Amino acid sequence: MKPTYFITGTDTGVGKTVLTTLLANFLRARGVKVAALKPICSGNRDDAVLLYDALNGALTLDEINPWHFRAAIAPALAAKLEKKSVTRAQLLTHIRATQKNFDVTLVEGAGGLLSPLGKDFNSRDLITDLRATPIVVAQNKLGVVNHILLTLEALPKNLRAKTKVVLMSPPKPDAATKSNAKLLEQFLAPEKIFALPWLGKKFQLKAALKNPQVRQTLDDVLTG
């Protein structure tokens, strides 16, 4: 089975798109045929545009993000405001059709793991259906361990065992930033926990990938 990674998070705005973009470009640089999808979003399409740029034309914007709604609220509610709906089957059909043409598929969710994406389904349901490897993205700050553990608890046991956690460093570390990874080791295998440094106020893909620490972390996330 071709590898599929589902990038979810403890919340919205935690760095899912940054990580997905980095992984997509890192794989492309290695000659891997990779797809990066954000199948559904609400608000603007900035995240999907970043993925489009990272893929350098491998997919169109509408292939990356076929369902988008104007209101910056949970996609299920945003769709309802426009008198539209998206089904779990529709998303799965699109993702699976894309998978056939690529060696690795990255799928980015919207919001946190349980944020409603459409009628009666969320990112957890898609992860289960796709048998994807979950990657949980979280801000490395005070309180995040609780958020990560709640997210892990919400995953089925078979998926929880292969879940990877990526801590995104904030611009100003707090008292917990240096100790969160170590604390998480009490609940998750150390080789499943990763941390990325602060990548600047305005994310620049090429600049980030020049950082040896970033490249090594991405390699570890994909192979660990």
The catalytic residue positions are: 38
3-state secondary structure (DSSP) of residue 109 = coil
Residue 139 parent element (H or E): strand 133-139
**Smallest Cα–Cα separation from 167: which of 145, 147, 208, 196?**
196
Which of the 8 DSSP states describes residue 69?
Answer: E
Q: Which two tokens stand for residue 35?
A: 């797809």
**d(C-alpha 49, C-alpha 106), whole Å:** 15
CA–CA distance, 161 with 192 (Å, rounded to integer)? 9
Do 41 and 62 touch, CB atoms closer than 8 A?
A: no
Contact 92, 64 (CB under 8 A): no
